Structure 1
Amino acid sequence: MSDKGETPRVIPTAARTGAVAAVGLELHSDRVVPRRQVFAWALWDWATQPFNTVVLTFVWVPSFLTSYFFLDSATSASGIGADGSRIDCDTAVNAATAYCGGLGSLAVQLGWGITVAGILIALLAPVMGQRADADGRQKLQLGIFTALLIVAQFGLFFVDGTPAFFWLGVSLIAIGSVFGEIANVSYNALLVSIASPRNVGRISGLGWGFGYLGGIIALAIVVGLILGGVLDGDNAMTFRIIGLGAAIWTVIFVIPIFLYVPEPPKLREIERVNFFRGYVELARSIRRLWRTARHTFWFLLASAVYRDGLSAVFVFGAVIAGQVFGFGFTDLVIFGIVLNLVAGVSTIFSGRLDDRIGPKPVILFAIGGLVICCLVVFFGAPLGKPLFWAAGIVLAAFVGPAQAASRSFLARITPAGYEGEIFGLYATTGRAAGWMASLLWGIFIAAAANQTLYGILGIALILAIGFGLLWFVKAPARPAAASA
Structure 2
Amino acid sequence: MFSWALWDWGSAAFNTVILTFVFTVYLTEGVAVDPESGSTALGVALTIAGVCIALVAPVTGQRSDAGGRRKLWLAVHTALVITCTAGLFFVQDDPSYLALGLVLLATASVFAEFATVNYNAMLLQVSTPATIGRVSGFGWGMGYFGGLIALVIVLIGFVQPDVGLFGVTAEDGLNIRVVALFSAVWFAVFALPLFAFVPEAPSSGEPLRHALVASYVVLGKRLAWMWREERRTLGFLVASAIYRDGLAAIFTFGGVIAAGTFGFNPSEVVVFAITANLVAGLGAFLGGRADDRFGPKAVIVAALFGLVLVGSLLLVLPPGKAAFWVCGLTLAIFLGPTQSASRTFLARIATPGKEGEVFGLYATTGRAVSFLGPLAFSGFIAVFGTQRAGMGGIVLILLVGLIAMIPVRSPDRPAEPTEIPAPDPG
Q: TM-score range by the shorter chain?
A: over 0.9
Paired with 1:53 and 1:329, the residues of 2 have a C-alpha distance of: 16
Q: For residue 91 of structure 1, what is the aligned residue in structure 2?
A: none
The one-letter code of the counterpart of 2:39 is A
Higher helix share: 2
Q: For residue 224 of structure 2, what is the aligned residue in structure 1?
A: 287
Paired with 2:291 and 2:170, the residues of 1 have a C-alpha distance of: 42
Q: 1:326 to 1:436 in 2, by over 3 A?
A: same
Q: For residue 150 of structure 1, what is the aligned residue in structure 2?
A: 82
Q: For residue 46 of structure 1, what is the aligned residue in structure 2?
A: 9
Q: Deviations over 1:19-71 (max 9, x none)?
A: xxxxxxxxxxxxxxxxxxx0000001011111111111111111x10014432
Q: For residue 173 of structure 1, what is the aligned residue in structure 2?
A: 105
Paired with 2:414 and 2:322, the residues of 1 have a C-alpha distance of: 40
Structure number with greater Rg is 1
**1:481: Cα distance to partner?**
6.7
Q: For residue 359 of structure 2, what is the aligned residue in structure 1?
A: 423
**For 1:414, which of 350, 370, 379 is the aligned residue?**
350
Q: CA RMSD in A?
A: 1.4
Paired with 1:188 and 1:348, the residues of 2 have a C-alpha distance of: 17
Is 1:188 matched up with 2:188? Answer: no
Q: For residue 421 of structure 2, what is the aligned residue in structure 1?
A: none
Paired with 2:208 and 2:192, the residues of 1 have a C-alpha distance of: 31
Is 1:275 matched up with 2:202? Answer: no
Is 1:215 matched up with 2:150? Answer: no
Normalised TM-score (structure 1): 0.83
**For 1:124, which of 34, 56, 65 is the aligned residue?**
56
Normalised TM-score (structure 2): 0.94
**1:411: Cα distance to partner?**
0.3
Q: For residue 227 of structure 1, what is the aligned residue in structure 2?
A: 160
Q: For residue 331 of structure 2, what is the aligned residue in structure 1?
A: 395
Equivalent position SS for 2:263? coil
Q: For residue 463 of structure 1, what is the aligned residue in structure 2?
A: 398
Q: For residue 374 of structure 1, what is the aligned residue in structure 2?
A: 311
Q: For residue 364 of structure 1, what is the aligned residue in structure 2?
A: 301
Aligned-pair identity in percent equals 47
**For 2:282, which of 345, 350, 356 is the aligned residue?**
345
Give the gaps of 5 or more residues in structure 1. Answer: 1-37, 72-101
Equivalent residue pairs, number: 413
Q: Contact 1:357/1:478 (CA < 8 Å) preserved in 2?
A: no
Give the gaps of 5 or more residues in structure 2. Answer: 419-426
The one-letter code of the counterpart of 1:45 is D
The one-letter code of the counterpart of 1:437 is G
Q: Contact 2:284/2:336 (CA < 8 Å) preserved in 1?
A: yes
**1:397: Cα distance to partner?**
0.3
**1:228: Cα distance to partner?**
4.1
Q: Contact 2:67/2:204 (CA < 8 Å) preserved in 1?
A: no
Paired with 2:355 and 2:83, the residues of 1 have a C-alpha distance of: 27
Q: Contact 2:31/2:98 (CA < 8 Å) preserved in 1?
A: no
Q: 1:234 to 1:318 in 2, by over 3 A?
A: farther
The one-letter code of the counterpart of 1:466 is G
Is 1:67 matched up with 2:3? Answer: no
Q: Contact 2:58/2:358 (CA < 8 Å) preserved in 1?
A: yes
**1:350: Cα distance to partner?**
1.4
**1:187: Cα distance to partner?**
0.5
The one-letter code of the counterpart of 1:70 is A
Q: For residue 133 of structure 2, what is the aligned residue in structure 1?
A: 201
Q: Contact 2:90/2:177 (CA < 8 Å) preserved in 1?
A: yes
**1:264: Cα distance to partner?**
1.7
Q: For residue 13 of structure 1, what is the aligned residue in structure 2?
A: none
